[in-house]
Structure 1
């Protein structure tokens, strides 16, 4: 059991380091927006979702309603339900309901990818070890950024704030270069966001609902223009040419 936990710690080390750097920016943005360092840390400790937290922070700072906040999280984090369903197929009888709940809480994109890519059987000890450093890294990075925001100069805080947008650009650009479908979806999201921000509709739609509408509209455009008709049991297409061949 101890060896399995150590194996999980080893596999989660890189994830924890990456989470620390990203959540550092979240801590700065949260404190600059008026939240306390403790509140920012508790948000990261109880959520463990990067895109969801940044979107939720936008709603909170815009004084959005709890309904907007909940709906935003549902839309953005719905993929975790699908990943948990897939991961549950690899969890044996040793995973009781309580243990499955712990795994579901820590099931992020990166943890899911590492767990699914492991050739050996998944054990509770391994999954706990895999989640330990990412949770510590995400929470610790948030607290460090929140505390550092009171020490760093305004210029440095502003520069670090750009890291968030750089991260999103780094996530979006590579698949855009290889897949026309992603380019259309991103263009749709940008177009809807601009309409909501610059048209008279901005007086009636809050920033929280703007995120929800943009996300749903872009996803709808992608599903309409690029439906995937996968063969039964076949792998999902990985490139534009494979999509066209379906």
Structure 2
């Protein structure tokens, strides 16, 4: 059993401050793009308050711009963020015992970044106060800078606001390319997903929202099947080699 460390709320705030700083440019850009997409200050800020998922919020902007049905945007967001079930399940073993309602509150604040900070407390239990501190400062940064970005966007000349729509696609490329370096699995996911989406969308078989949903699930399933089959082949070859020796 690990011992309790980083027991104070203030230590959690300190540990999460680097996340808050990192969220600054991304949240600011989201607020600005939300303005150029047509969302009001209230709508943009409410999205960050209630959704609090960077990549999904950017995806939602592009889907809103193309007129996709709201319920389909919700389903796509759920699929993209389904990994958070695994994250919070893992953290429940790492954090000290607490009432379920309390864990549910700070579980909402779990992102890729906050998970990394909390999960790297090796061989030690993390207190509820520390978890709240990390989650709160990151969440406040994301929501606050979303509002600031929208405010800045509202004061930009109209031609710049129109030009900023291109930045949405640049942001997706910026998120994707670094993760593709040295990771064949991510490259496969991106390539297969893009191929499925383009096939379904440009052949008019499905709308934008549905084609993205099918492409996301389809590429994930296909890549996992490829890797499972590849692993079985490697294991089979290893078994044969051991038998020969």
Report the TM-score when normalising by structure 1: 0.82
Q: What is aligned with 2:49? A: 45
1:118 to 121, 129, 144: 121
Corresponding pairs, count: 230
**Retained in 1: the 8 A contact 2:27–2:142?**
yes
Answering whether residue 78 of structure 2 is matched by residue 100 of structure 1, we say: no
**Retained in 2: the 8 A contact 1:58–1:208?**
no
SS at match of 1:200: coil
Deviation at 1:83, TM superposition (A): 0.7
Deviation digits for residues 83-118 of structure 1, max 9, x if unmatched?
11111111222x211210112100111001110002
Name the CA distance, whole Å, in 1 between partners of 2:159 and 2:18: 29
Name the CA distance, whole Å, in 2 between partners of 1:228 and 1:45: 42
SS at match of 1:121: strand
Stretches of structure 1 that go unaligned for 5 or more consecutive residues are 231-243
Answering whether residue 150 of structure 2 is matched by residue 109 of structure 1, we say: no
Report the TM-score when normalising by structure 2: 0.83
Distance 1:111 1:229, change over 3 A: farther
Deviation at 1:159, TM superposition (A): 6.2
Query: Which region of structure 1 is more displaced relative to structure 2, 208-217 or 57-66?
Result: 57-66
Aligned-residue Cα RMSD (Å) equals 2.8
Answering whether residue 81 of structure 2 is matched by residue 77 of structure 1, we say: yes
Name the CA distance, whole Å, in 2 between partners of 1:141 and 1:111: 17
Q: Could you list the runs of 4 or more consecutive aligned residues of structure 1 that deviate by over 6 angstroms after TM superposition?
A: none
Q: Which has the larger radius of gyration?
A: 2
Distance 1:37 1:210, change over 3 A: same
Distance 1:143 1:60, change over 3 A: same
Stretches of structure 2 that go unaligned for 5 or more consecutive residues are 232-236, 239-245
Name the CA distance, whole Å, in 1 between partners of 2:47 and 2:225: 36
SS at match of 1:99: helix
Answering whether residue 143 of structure 2 is matched by residue 139 of structure 1, we say: yes
Query: Which region of structure 1 is more displaced relative to structure 2, 44-53 or 60-69?
Result: 60-69
Name the CA distance, whole Å, in 2 between partners of 1:137 and 1:228: 43
